[in-house]
Amino acid sequence: MTERQRGARWLALLLGGVVALVVLLILVQPRPAPKPKVAAIPPNAPVFEDFSQVPTAPTPPVPAPSPTTGLALIVDDIGYDRRALERLLALHIPLAISVLPDAPLAGESARRAHRAGQLVMLHLPMQPDNPYLAAHMSPAFLRVGMAREEVRKVFEQDLARVPFAVGVNNHMGSRLTRERPLMQWVMELCREHGLFFVDSRTHKDSVAAQVAREAGIVWGSRRLFLDHRTDPDSLRRAWQRALACAEHARCILIAHPHPETVRFLETVVQASSQLPTFLSLDRALHPAS
């Protein structure tokens, strides 16, 4: 064997050893700890809390201003999916379009909904219970521990990003809506800006609706969610509960712009036999007292 051949052999052995060492290091590298699970969401959409364990909101012990019954539909989390909003507006039923203030299409979505004659709402981000979600709150969120002026600053910045908003409902908020002083500040700001408030009821112990009533503003409370789960059977069951509710009360239903939800609403709207009396949200609210 020549000197050159011996050198080539040693180089090959050295390279082989390096490759084997790299492979070994990759194999023995510890796996990262799994992240806490969050609700399944469509691509490019905001995360939201899992409300599947939140009970149906009880009917508030307040006399209805009229004998009207029917279904008022709020669509939350608007501002990410332009095509979903177009399809929702094409349903030609009364909707309340609730826009996330920090969504990339917030202003455009609010203006488009307003031009279509639909109510526009600020979907006000509030601190959730879930530690993982709370750790990923954007600057648009109201948080436990904020001073009154901080609440005002965030609220007014959020409101400025959603033109034509006439009302507010909470995005997440399972933690913050249980804090009476913070909710009193929120309702004072709603009153100051002439806005109604709808409690999304993301926690069974929410005080938001009660505080809104005490603050003397127009208010409402979510009765049902349509799309905790977006498989066809779950959507149909939730829709049947909404129809039953709308026969006897002014029922506020909240949905989201998931592809499955939009497709389901298109289907039921086309099937006139499954249609309730749709109400504009302002007709389903309790008056200021």
pLDDT tens digits, 256-281: 999 999 999 999 999 877 689 999 99
Range of 169's domain? 70-284
> Per-residue pLDDT for 1 more than 60?
no
- CATH code assigned at 212: 3.20.20.370
Total domains in the fold of the chain: 1
In a domain, 15, yes or no: no
Would you say residue 26 lies in a domain?
Answer: no
String of DSSP letters for the chain: --HHHHHHHHHHHHHHHHHHHHHHHHHHSPPPPPPPP-----TT-------TTSPPPPPPSS--SSS--EEEEEEEEESS-HHHHHHHHTT-S--EEEE-TTSTTHHHHHHHHHHTT-EEEEEEEE--S-HHHHTT--TT-B-TT--HHHHHHHHHHHHHTSTTEEEEEEEE-TTGGG-HHHHHHHHHHHHHTT-EEEE---STT--HHHHHHHTT--EEE--EES-SS-SHHHHHHHHHHHHHHHHHSEEEEEE---HHHHHHHHHHHH-GGG---B--GGGGSBPP-
Flag whether 252 is in a domain.
yes
> Per the domain annotation, does 44 fall within a domain?
no
Per-residue pLDDT reduced to its tens digit, 74-117: 999 999 999 999 999 999 999 999 999 999 999 999 999 999 99
Instruction: Give domain status of residue 143, yes or no.
Output: yes
pLDDT higher at 17 or 260: 260
Please tell me the pTM assigned to this model.
0.80
Residue 178 lies in a domain: yes
In a domain, 240, yes or no: yes
Q: Is residue 99 part of a domain?
A: yes
Rounded Cα gap, residues 245 and 198, in angstroms:
18
